[in-house]
Amino acid sequence: MSTKLIAILNTGLVTSVGLSAPASCAALRAKLTNPSETRFVDSQGERIIAHQVMLSKPWRGRTKLAKMAAMATDEALLGVSREEWARIPLLLCIAEIERPGRPEELEELFAQLQTELGARFAPQSSVIAHGRVSVAVALARARALIEEDRAQRIVVVATDSLISWATLAQYARDDRLLSNRNSNGFMPGEGAGALLVGESNGASGELVCTGIGFAQETAHVSSDEPLRADGLTRAINAALMEAGRQMHDMDFRITDLSGEQYYFKEAALALSRVLRKHKEEFELWHPAECTGEQGAAVGATMIALVRSACQKSFARGPNILAHMANDAGQRAALSLQFRGAP
């Protein structure tokens, strides 16, 4: 069990509904959405619709990923002197290796991001390539760095895009994209997010990560095995146990669900196996309904939204469960707590 708690000190976001954390979180609260036609056409001759981030120039590929990540990092590190950046590890979250259409040599994005920012980060920096669960892995790594006194603050940066032909073509062939002909699918998206993390000092107004859990699901989305949500159930139980809480103690949930029935079914099955006391209401938030499927960036979007919701008092309560899942079967859960004013 961890001896130290980590807190989210600041956030940065770049999404299809806002180019900063305040703008994105306001749009997410209002349930605004901004899908548009891409330049790609499906097998039926129809334009593929996606949630695209509109920047000042039509950058694509790794360059766009670096631009979005730099914007989010700048926002999260606002108020931190440039001289201090060299002592802050940067944990860069990117698409998993198995992701269809993943850009070649994506790990080189770290050097490109440093060039874009005109800065160098601490030697403990690393790249985390686990797709939608990457941010949870990064938070666990950040906590370890703090516990080992190897860093006082860490910046977790996530950037991803599913809007490339190589990626869209494979998902279209697998019938996983939302369209007029397929309701069991997701709308592709992109974005970036950054979280400045440090040790909790117990002050009011902190969003604290009190528990982290991981597991592997064998009956993943492309498996023929029957789904029982074993992996997600174990991940949630691990996070709650570390936090010293039970599911009924949590006030609401936030997830990376983006439209596919498989993942909604998994979330429902896991809830039925973990929740032991009746709750009249147990809201399920899924920001992908506004931003589309963001891949690795979704974890940062989720946490930034939770922090904004708690600070602005539109959250359902101070105790939040977040969970994520990727197509390869990795599952992650976070127990979050907002330390409000006494």
Tokens of 170: 């494979």
pLDDT of residue 43: 80
pLDDT tens column, 50-86: 999 999 999 999 999 999 999 999 999 999 999 999 9
What mean pLDDT comes out for the span 79-99? 96
* pLDDT, average across residues 196-205: 93
> Which DSSP state fits 108?
G
Residue 202: its pLDDT value, please? 87
Q: Is the pLDDT of residue 189 over 70?
A: yes
Tell me, what's the pLDDT at 2?
59
- What whole-number percentage of the chain has pLDDT above 70? 99
The pLDDT value recorded for residue 341 is: 56
pLDDT band of residue 1 (cuts 50, 70, 90) is low
C-alpha span between 194 and 209 (Å, rounded)? 16
Q: Which of 39, 294, 58 is nearest to 161 (CA)?
A: 294
pLDDT given for residue 31 in this prediction = 97
Written as one string, the DSSP assignment of 64-90 is HHHHHHHHHHHHHTTTS-HHHHTTS-E
Q: Which CATH class is domain 206-339?
A: alpha beta
Nearest-10 crossing angle of helices 298-311, 21-29: 80
pLDDT above 70 (res 278): yes
Mean residue pLDDT across the chain: 96
Nearest 10 degrees: Cα torsion 287, 289, 291, 294: 80
Query: At residue 172, what are phi and psi to the nearest 5 degrees?
Result: -65, -40
Q: What is the pLDDT of residue 44?
A: 83
Cα–Cα distance for residue pair 114/252, rounded to 1 Å: 37
Reported as a pLDDT band with limits 50, 70 and 90, residue 247 is very high
- Grade residue 4 by pLDDT with cuts at 50, 70 and 90: confident
Q: How confident is the model at residue 182 (pLDDT cuts 50, 70, 90)?
A: very high
Q: Is the pLDDT of residue 342 over 60?
A: no
Whole-prediction pTM: 0.96
Mean pLDDT of 26-54: 94
φ/ψ (deg, to 5) at 59 = -65, 155
Average pLDDT (16-40) is: 97
Quote the pLDDT of residue 45.
84
- Going from N- to C-terminal start, the domains of the chain cover 6-199, 206-339
What is the SS3 assignment for 41? strand
Residue 197 has pLDDT above 90, yes or no: yes
Report the pLDDT value the prediction gives residue 54, as an integer from 0 to 100. 96
Rg (CA), the chain: 19
pLDDT at residue 3 above 80?
no
Q: Reduced to 3 states, what is the DSSP secondary structure of residue 303?
A: helix
* CATH topology assigned to domain 6-199: Peroxisomal Thiolase; Chain A, domain 1 (3.40.47)
Check pLDDT > 90 for residue 104.
Answer: no
Q: What is the pLDDT of residue 233?
A: 98
Fold match flag (6-199 vs 206-339): yes
Write out pLDDT tens, residues 128-165: 999 999 999 999 999 999 999 999 999 999 999 999 99
Give the mean pLDDT of 4-27: 97
pLDDT, position 340: 78
Cα–Cα distance, 317 to 302 (Å, whole number) = 16
